[in-house]
């Protein structure tokens, strides 16, 4: 029951973070093309204020619950080496940890990333992570 609860928490927190990235990259980007610069900055400011309260916490929950799920799902390494499942799970975990560390440093410590200041790369990584999560059980 604990595993299922943590998995649901993980899915819910990933939906919040992924939804934020989806909105930021696809919806607000389109609004930038149609609104005046002043109106766009106003809308972006509202979006930033509303999401700042929940998205960083959801990201932390996603990373922490992901670490637990990784620990319980990875299994033992056989003499033949890593299985395809373990390799894909490891890639998924590395990408998720990178997103988590980047988000914590940026939001809680004010350290801006030197590269990839927009949310495009995190959005692409979330799509890759979701795709990996769907195919890793089938390989």
Q: What is the pLDDT of residue 73?
A: 93
| H-type alpha helices, 37-119 | 37-52, 55-73, 84-109
d(CA 88, CA 19): 23
d(CA 2, CA 39): 46
- Contact present, 115 and 103 (Cβ < 8 Å): no
The residue with tokens 């109106």 is 39
Per-residue pLDDT of the chain in tens (139 residues, 90 and over written 9): 999 999 999 999 999 999 999 998 899 888 888 999 999 999 989 988 888 889 989 999 999 999 999 999 998 999 999 999 999 999 999 999 999 998 888 878 888 776 666 788 899 999 999 999 999 988 8
The residue with tokens 């998995």 is 7
Structural domain for 88, as ranges: 2-135
The residue with tokens 């560390």 is 101
Q: What is the pTM of this model?
A: 0.85
Q: What is the pLDDT of residue 115?
A: 64
Domain total for the chain? 1
């Amino acid at each position: 029951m604990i595993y299922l609860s943590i998995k649901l928490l993980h899915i819910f927190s990933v939906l919040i973070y992924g939804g934020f990235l989806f909105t930021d990259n696809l919806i607000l980007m389109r609004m930038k093309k149609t609104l005046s610069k002043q109106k766009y900055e106003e809308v972006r400011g509202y979006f930033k204020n509303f999401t700042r309260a929940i998205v960083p916490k959801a990201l932390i929950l996603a990373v922490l619950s992901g670490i637990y799920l990784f620990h319980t799902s990875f299994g033992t390494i056989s003499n033949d080496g890593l299985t395809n499942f373990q390799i894909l799970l490891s890639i998924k975990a590395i990408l998720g940890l990178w997103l988590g560390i980047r988000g914590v440093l940026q939001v809680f410590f004010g350290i801006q990333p030197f590269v990839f200041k927009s949310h495009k790369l995190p959005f692409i990584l979330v799509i890759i992570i979701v795709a990996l999560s769907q195919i890793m059980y089938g390989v």
